[in-house]
Structures are given as C-alpha cells and as structure tokens.
Amino acid sequence: MVAPPRRFGFLARRSFTFEEGLASGATRSHLRAAGLGTPSRGIRVPLGRQQKLLDRVRPYALLSSSGCISHVTAAQLHGMPLPWFDDEIRTIHITRPAHSAQPRRRNVIGHTNTLAPEDVMYIDGVPVTTPERTFLDLSAILGLDDLVAVADFLICWHDRPFEPPKAPIVPAGKLRSYVAGHHRVRGLNAARAAMELMRVGVDSRPETRLRLLLHRAGLPEFMTNFAIPGDPEVWPDLACEEYKTSGQYEGEIHQTTQKQLYDRNRDERSAARGWLQVKVYSADMRKGEAHVAGMFAKALRKQGWQG
C-alpha cells in the first residue's frame, strides 16, 4: 500500500471524506493506504497527525445532510469550560432537523431538533450551534454548578486597568432573553436557574464553584468584578464589601514567579485597606464545601460578621 502523494495537499494534514479525496485526484488505492485511518465510514484521517478539533469534525458535518455540530462538541469549539478534559471527549455530537433520521455512524452521538436559522453559525465553513443555543443544549446534560460556569464564561467582561478589555461572548441580557424565549425544552428549568446564579466578571470554572458553595453555605454575598478602592484599585476574585473580606482562588497560573510577585503586592494593598483575604487552593476544594465555607466564615467573623 502507498500513502497519498504529497501533491494532494490536505490529505496528509487533516481528516477528509472519501469523496473529497477522490475529488482531489487521489485514487481508491491511495485512500486505502496504510497511512490513513478510518474512524467512521466514508472518512479518512492521516495517522499520527495532530489536528484541530474543527478539522476533525469537518467531514462528519459534510456527510450529515442538514446536520449541525452541537452539544458537547459545539461547546468544545466555543471554548466553554466543561467538567471533563476536552482531549478525553472523542465522540462528536450532531443535530439534524426534527423528524429526520438520526446520524448513525461510529464516534457520533446523534440528536434531532428544530433549530431556528439564528441558532446556527459557521466556523470556517462548518455549521455549529451558536453559543447561546449550545448553552441551552448543555442544560440537559450538565449539573447546575457546571452549567452556571458555562454561563459565567459566556457573559464575562472586564474593563480593568491592568489588562486589555474583555468583551462578553454573549451579553448577559441577551442570554437571559434567549432562555426566556424558549418553552418545552429539555433542561429548561436548569437553564433558568443558571440565569439567576450567573454573575459577570468570573474568570474560571473554579471561581464559579467557589462562589456557589459560599452561596449555598448561607454566607453574606460575595460579589464578582469588584474593585477595592484605592490607588491603585485591587481586584479580588470575590469580595464581600460589607465585611471587607475577599476571596482568591489560587490556580496554576499563580505559581509563576511573576504572578506570585503581583499577588504579594495585591495582598499587601488589600491588608493596608483593612481587608482580610482568604486564599483557596485546589487542595482546599478537595476537602469539601464545609471546609472551604468554614475558612470564609472564620474570616468574616474576624471582620465583624455575627453569623
């Protein structure tokens, strides 16, 4: 068996359909070469080649008449934070129009639904459900905390002096209106609950989890996107202004020397303004919600909270 000649370009770089291969000038023998895998019928993929998710799903979309990449796969393409590692998700979700046959092929999870034209966008020619439609589809799959993390990701915006402005993928009002405009959708109650719990200014899924566990513990509300006044301002992850208590989730990004120096300066400025700061690490989160909530309750009491 011989590999496809180099002159056939994309055949050696990304997944493609069998028909695309023939149209490029490759022979059937080339398309059965040892250097090509067959993840699903009618699809070829160059073995040992790293490729983007979009290139991997492209042939599946081409072969699914009127189909659209959706659900978890669309979430991956939009960069949404999921409770699983993206590289562990190998199946591809495709939605076809209601009353049509579901896609039945290896590595594909099929769905049928009536999607409005505005529910579909194109990413480099590949049809994908929009971020807001993808959020609604995920509401039937994810737990509430994980769904709120997706909502926080979509509506996040910043205009802070120490970094470039960040625009929301979907403005909060638009996402609320989109969810409110739907009825009799699986998972809709979860989507509505997430609308009540989402907040602007959250930078990561762990920050969402931290905020929600403090909310469930019945502690005073901790705000996001809050600036502690002063020159310069201090921007904690979470802030309870009434009791001058802030919270910081210390993820891996905080382990660099540059970030640690910035954090030390932030900590000193917070303390000088009468604020008590609680730092939370992944090890703390593994000890459970009661442990983390107790850390904050202790700090709040030092600042005058009666409990």
pTM for the structure as a whole: 0.87
Predicted confidence (pLDDT) per residue in 9-43, tens digit: 666 677 887 777 778 777 777 777 767 877 877 78
Give the model's confidence band at 99: pLDDT under 50 very low, under 70 low, under 90 confident, else very high.
Answer: confident
Asked if pLDDT for residue 5 goes beyond 60, the answer is no
Q: Supply the pLDDT for residue 9.
A: 64
Q: Supply the pLDDT for residue 307.
A: 84
Q: What is the spatial distance between Cα 144 and Cα 228, in angstroms, rounded to a whole number?
A: 30
Predicted confidence (pLDDT) per residue in 212-226, tens digit: 999 999 999 999 989
Annotated domain spans of the chain: 6-48, 52-129, 144-200, 205-302
What does residue 107 show for φ and ψ, rounded to 5 degrees? Answer: 70, 15
Predicted confidence (pLDDT) per residue in 248-271, tens digit: 998 765 465 566 666 778 888 889
Residue 3 has what DSSP assignment?
A: P
Q: Residues near 85 by Cβ (< 8 Å), separated by ≥ 6?
A: none
Asked if pLDDT for residue 140 goes beyond 60, the answer is yes
Which of 44-53, 167-176, 193-202, 294-303 shows the lowest mean pLDDT across its residues? 44-53
Q: What is the spatial distance between Cα 39 and Cα 185, in angstroms, rounded to a whole number?
A: 32
CATH annotation of 205-302:
3.40.960
| Of the candidates 127, 159, 138, 140, the residue with the CA atom closest to the CA atom of residue 80 | 138
